[in-house]
């Protein structure tokens, strides 16, 4: 029998509660980042990089936990690579 509460969590290799924890944490970070962006819109001297830092951290965490790389992530990677090529930006040496 199909269970609408566990189908998606199982598809990403998680239990219902593991998924609840991740999704709640992800949603909270979205709220914090969004609030920082809204405050930055009115007061541009506040939270100058907070929204983008939250977004980048969340994106990194999201991609790291994916069971397989999705097409939308590949498209994003290609767009970043193209932007880097267009602006002649190179990655720092590690």
92 part of a folded domain: no
Secondary structure of residue 12 in the 3-state scheme: coil
pLDDT in tens, the chain (94 residues): 688 999 989 988 899 999 999 999 999 999 999 999 999 999 999 999 999 999 999 988 888 888 788 888 889 889 988 888 888 766 676 6
Q: How many domains would you assign to the chain?
A: 1
41 part of a folded domain: yes
Structural domain containing residue 23:
7-87
1 part of a folded domain: no
94 part of a folded domain: no
30 part of a folded domain: yes
Question: Which whole-number Å values give the CA distances from 44 to 29, 40, 55, in the listed order?
Answer: 20, 5, 18
Q: What pLDDT is recorded for position 24?
A: 96
* pTM for the whole structure: 0.72
Question: Which whole-number Å values give the CA distances from 66 to 12, 19, 63, 75, 89, in the listed order?
Answer: 7, 12, 5, 15, 27
């Amino acid at each position: 029998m199909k269970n609408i509460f566990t189908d998606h969590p199982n598809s990403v290799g998680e239990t219902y509660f593991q998924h609840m924890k991740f999704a709640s944490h992800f949603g909270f970070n979205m709220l914090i980042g969004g609030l920082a962006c809204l405050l930055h819109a009115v007061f541009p001297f506040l939270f100058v990089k907070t929204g983008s830092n939250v977004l980048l951290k969340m994106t990194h965490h999201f991609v790291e936990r994916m069971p397989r790389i999705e097409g939308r992530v590949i498209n994003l990677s290609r767009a970043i690579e193209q932007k880097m090529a267009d602006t002649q930006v190179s990655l720092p040496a590690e």
